[in-house]
Amino acid sequence: MTMDTPTGALQIVEVTKRFGKTTAVDDLSLTIPEGSFFAILGPSGCGKSTTLRMVAGLERPTSGRIFLGERDITDLRPHHRPLNTVFQNYALFPHLNVFENVAFGLRERRQKDIAAKVETILELVQLPGYGDRKPAQLSGGQQQRVALARAIVNEPQVLLLDEPLGALDLRLRRQMQIELKRIQTEVGLTFVLVTHDQEEALTLADTIAVMHDGRLEQLGSPVELYENPRTAFVANFLGTSNLLSGEVGERRDDALVADVAGHRIVVPADRNHAPPSGRIYVGVRPEKLHITTEESQVPADHNAIQGQVVDASFTGIGTQYQVRLPWGQEVMAFAQNLSAGIRLAAGEQVTLHWDVAHTFALDGAEEAPLAPTAKDTVGARP
């Protein structure tokens, strides 16, 4: 523990968890500041639930320690930890009404003013007057809000949320995300959310830890992770990226000039995460690409490549283009529906160009993620 550790921060220090031969979590270190909304994001099996379960005390780390503020909580029993967990299957007591479900923890701890506390919390989750209902008389979203109320009423230092909205349909899920963010802002507790839903993490969290194969892949704000991914995995797990194979060309102080099939592509130095030499990926997001048939309109300081439109799909908010580059690779470009302008059709020769600042470079040795296709952006941003 260093002296500058913020009070109340949750710290995971060099934690490893093995189940037999499986390493579920591999030397993970994270600091989760007090009062933040922190998301652990990753695909199924990356170790995110195991991480949360170790914080909750439901699993013991094979090695490493967990601190809450100055206190080492690694060996504390789950119910002695100042935390609460909300799981996907809300596990409300079916025989108790909403009021008694929420009051349960307060009664156990012999708290005063139980009725007032429960009413306040039910207002917070927008269920005033629902105290007499049984869980079976509530919708999924309402049950989930009761589960949240039951966790928050105990005023834990940290609230752990393991895919809490996983059982809800998409519409309700989006609605609950807004609720969750509002509640977190209002109560100011530390929320640690585990999810495989990139949009959920981007929408809710102040900071996201992307996990892959038990390891921390990248840590940062939603904007940092989206705009400046450090690995091909992050570039394609959060949204969609076009990754072009190339080589390190010229190195300047402020930029790398990559060679992509004979095209000079400029990458700002602070977005260059490629090794000093050899194969690299040059990346750019679909919505950062401009598409034009007028080559003369391309600003001189933009990166540019010619191609041919192979597919144009109108999606309402814009048009999604699939463009084949001279060496056969297809990339995706997204043009916002800003005016009733001409939409390009399949077969047209075009120039794709983009601001240098929107280019990033990654290690080309990482397994090539699949080229993005139209279906990849369903439910994703933009």
* Number of other residues whose CB lies within 10 A of the CB of residue 210: 27
Q: In one letter, which amino acid is 26?
A: D
Nearest CB to ligand ATP, comparing residues 47 and 364: 47
Question: Which residue type does 46 have?
Answer: C
Complex with ligand ATP: residue 47 or 229, whichever CB lies closer: 47
Cα angle, residue 218 at apex, residues 204 and 166 outer, rounded to 5°: 40
**Residue 50 phi, psi (nearest 5):** -60, -40
3-state secondary structure at position 273:
coil
Q: Which amino acid is at 42?
A: G
Residues of this chain that interact with ligand ATP (CB under 6 A) are 19, 22, 24, 42, 44-50, 196
Torsion from C-alpha of 136, 167, 29, 227, nearest 10 degrees: -140
Return the number of the residue (44 or 277) whose C-beta is nearest ligand ATP. Answer: 44
> Which of 44/339 has CB closer to ligand ATP?
44
Smallest distance from ligand ATP to CB 272, Å: 30
**Closest separation between CB of residue 46 and ligand ATP, Å?**
4
Q: At what angle do helices 140-152 and 98-108 cross, to 10 degrees?
A: 20
Beta strands in 153-252 (DSSP E): 158-162, 190-195, 207-212, 215-220, 242-251
CA distances from 144 to 32, 89, 129, 171 (A): 24, 9, 16, 14
- Phi (first) and psi of residue 367, to 5 degrees: -50, 130
**Which residue is closest to ligand ATP by CB?**
49
| Amino acid letter, residue 343 | R
**Nearer Cβ to ligand ATP, position 47 or 283?**
47
Q: How far is the CB of 51 from ligand ATP (least distance, A)?
A: 7
Identify which of residues 19 and 327 has a Cβ nearer to ligand ATP in the complex: 19
Q: Give the CA radius of gyration of the chain.
A: 24
CB of 125 to ligand ATP, least distance (A): 25
Residues 6+ apart with CB under 8 A from 138: 98, 130, 146
User: Taking the complex as a whole, how short is the minimal distance between the CB of residue 17 and ligand ATP, in angstroms?
Assistant: 8
Report whether 121 contacts 136 (CB < 8 A).
no
Least Å from the CB of residue 233 to ligand ATP: 14
- Biggest alpha carbon distance in the chain? 76
Look up residue 113 and give its DSSP letter: -
How many residues in the chain?
382
Look up tokens 């309700």; give the residue: 172
- Residue 47 vs 286, nearer CB to ligand ATP: 47
- Amino acid identity of residue 324, one-letter, is R
Of the pair 22, 297, the CB lying nearest ligand ATP is at 22
Q: How far is the CB of 162 from ligand ATP (least distance, A)?
A: 8
Query: CB–CB of 116/76 below 8 Å?
Result: no
Which is nearer to ligand ATP, 16 or 306 (by Cβ)? 16
Residue 10 or 146 having the CB closest to ligand ATP? 10
Sequence-ordered list of residues with C-beta below 8 angstroms from that of 332, at least 6 positions apart, any chain: 240, 242, 286, 320, 321, 322, 323, 372, 373, 374, 376, 377
